[in-house]
Amino acid sequence: MGMPELDFSVVFAGDYRSMLMSGVGITLSLFGIALPLAFLLAVALATAAGFGGRTLRIAVDGFVAYHRNTPLLVQLFVWNFGLSQVLPRALNRVINASHPELVFSIVTLVCYAAAYMSQDLLSGLRAVPAGQTEAATALGLRRWQAVGLVVLPQAWRFALPPLIGQCVGLLKATSITAVIGVGEMTNQARQIESETFRVIEVFTVITAAYLLVTLPLMLVGTALERRLAASSGREAT
Amino acid sequence: MTALWILAGYWDFILFGPYPKGPLGGLALTAAIALTSLSAAFPLALAVALARLFGPKAISRAATAYVYIARGVPLLVWIFWIYFLIPLLTKQPADAFVTLVVAIVIYQGAYLSEVLRAGIVALPKGQFEAARALGLRSGLVIRKIVLPQIVVQVMPGLINQMTLIIKESALGYVIALGELTFVMGQINLDLMNRPLSVFAMLAAIYFVICWLLSRLANVIVERARWVTAKTDISRQCPPSASQRLCRRRRPGLRPNFALCKSKG
């Protein structure tokens, strides 16, 4: 027994170093590609649910409910093993020509994050009192002006802290893609571990790598939340 | 149609895995993982929440660090940490069930402690002042005053935590633990050519369970709101003061100005 001796140089040298670096690259690419796409989709979903008709609202509710009530891993399986079978043949040929597991990973991550983000955007919108729109239109602003100039800037302040939380969630979610063979950070770490048995070293490195991104995000989120709570408390008194 | 056909052929395998010929699996194991993890995470989360709020500075800081670090790393990484560290330290292969439960407890314990902390913070300050004025020791305050109240208040949060854990237990698939997702993966291999039906059905099973649980949480929230609305003295205050109270006490909810005003 006893603690094994640590030797980080193994992990940082030669092949293993390049494996780790490519893992970091793929994790950051998944995150960097999925985040803006998810945000755009979330804005579309929130707009449809907030300003659209009944049918649109029900469709968005269904989309959100599916992504919130099933495991991310299962959503990934549904895309990668299930829906991939029924896509149009031409589309499938294009996807299979590149890396299908990467494509389906990004699609899954975008839908998953967008479902959660759309709810944050909507609750941001709802947090703005109705009196604001009424006051704006009473002052002679058009409806779109009232929304764009008065409601959205305030809704944004309410939505930002939870959206930052979703960024953290999305970065962590990229690790799931390891299960279908995407060579992101966690997958590379597992492979290096199986070749070197340097459990502590390898996982310390990737744990630190995740924290390097998530900790600052979480701290910023908490600070914004606190400021928001303080300012709305001041307004109330 | 395929779904019915799969259900007819595999319903006992989906529910119990290879049991009684082999270890318990399937939906029953998913339920066991969720219940074990939640019961183990609760005391940890409570200790962390209390440490952050009332502990000496060093302990409070350590608890805060734990909450941030545990939430900052994917659950899959925690699973791998435990799964590979146990054989290194004990020279014995890690048990998949223990690995998954411990990983979920570490990860969700941090989230749950935030839920509990919010519940404690939301208690009116006067309660602590009154208790201190009565000369109650802090252990007694926690047991007799804090706990009974937050248990009701955080019940919806606990149920939500349960749905999160049920969804996360799907990662048992990665370490070949025969829970629901793993079992359905086996059925998929068995059938060879029905992946969409199998995984759509898997999603549907999780959906029904988690959706029902979240409905239950909503019902409790509504009930609690109804009870507090009947007893809340803040509703009887003049408008400005009541608006202030409504905002302060429930930062997560929008104050119902219409109600406050009509009472004033």
Please write the tens of the pLDDT for every residue from A65-101.
999 999 999 999 999 999 998 999 999 999 999 899 9
Q: Does the pLDDT at position B54 exceed 70? A: yes
Q: Do B167 and A72 touch (CB under 8 A)?
A: yes
CA proximity to B210, closest of A65, A18, A100: A65
Residue B238 has pLDDT above 70, yes or no: no
CB-neighbour burial class of residue B136 (10 A; exposed 0-12, middle 13-18, buried 19+): middle
Point out the residue among A74, A199, A215 whose CB comes nearest to the CB of B88. Answer: A199
The mean per-residue pLDDT over the stretch B63-79 comes to 98
Give the ipTM.
0.93
Residue-level pLDDT at A119:
96
- The pLDDT confidence band at residue B248, using thresholds 50, 70 and 90, is very low
- Quote the minimal CA–CA distance from A144 to chain B in Å: 24
Q: How many whole angstroms separate alpha carbon A74 and alpha carbon B204?
A: 10
Closest listed residue to residue B211, CA positions, set A70, A19, A158: A70
pLDDT in tens, A102-138: 999 999 999 999 999 999 999 999 999 989 989 999 9
Which of B85, B195, B197 has the CB atom closest to A199's CB atom?
Answer: B85
**B24 phi, psi to nearest 5 deg:** -65, 140
Spatial CB neighbours of B222, under 8 Å, sequence gap ≥ 6: none
**In this predicted structure, which of A126-135, B127-136, B165-174, B231-240 has the lowest mean pLDDT?**
B231-240
- How far B178 CA lies from chain A's nearest CA (Å)? 15
Within 8 A by CB and 6+ apart from A102, the residues are A30, A177, A182
* Nearest by CB: B207 against A69, A218, A232: A69
d(CA A12, CA A196): 12
* β-bridge mates for residue B26, sequence order: B179
What SS3 state is found at B211? helix
CB B81 to CB A203 under 8 A?
Answer: yes
Q: Label residue B246 by pLDDT band (50, 70, 90).
A: very low
Q: How confident is the model at residue A233 (pLDDT cuts 50, 70, 90)?
A: low
Instruction: Give me the residue from B173, B195, B202 closest to A85, CB to CB.
Output: B195
CA distance B200 to chain A (A): 6
Q: How confident is the model at residue B257 (pLDDT cuts 50, 70, 90)?
A: very low
**CB contact set of B150 (below 8 Å; sequence gap of 6+):** B116, B119, B120, B123
Residues of A in contact with B163 (CB under 8 A): 69
**Residue B98, pLDDT above cutoff 50:** yes
CB contact under 8 A, B77 and A206: yes
In this predicted structure, what is the pLDDT of residue A2? 55
- Model pLDDT, residue A191: 96
Instruction: Calculate the CA B37 to chain-centre distance.
Output: 9
- Across A153-157, A192-196, B99-103, which has the greatest mean pLDDT? B99-103
- Averaged pLDDT score across all residues of chain A: 93
User: Does residue A23 carry a pLDDT above 60?
Assistant: yes
Q: Report the C-alpha gap between B64 and B52 in whole angstroms.
A: 6
| Partner-chain contact B77 A175, CB within 8 Å | yes
Residue A231: pLDDT band (50, 70, 90) is: confident
Which of A67, A77, A78, A203 to probe by mutation at the B interface, max B CB count within 10 Å? A77
Query: Which alpha helices (DSSP H) does chain B contain, by range?
Result: 2-16, 26-54, 57-72, 75-90, 96-121, 125-133, 138-141, 147-153, 155-168, 180-191, 195-231, 239-249, 257-263
Q: Give the closest of A4, A74, A178 to B202, CB-based.
A: A74
- CA-based nearest distance A11→chain B, Å: 16
Q: Please give, rounded to a whole number of angstroms, the shortest distance from the CA of B129 to a CA of chain A.
A: 22
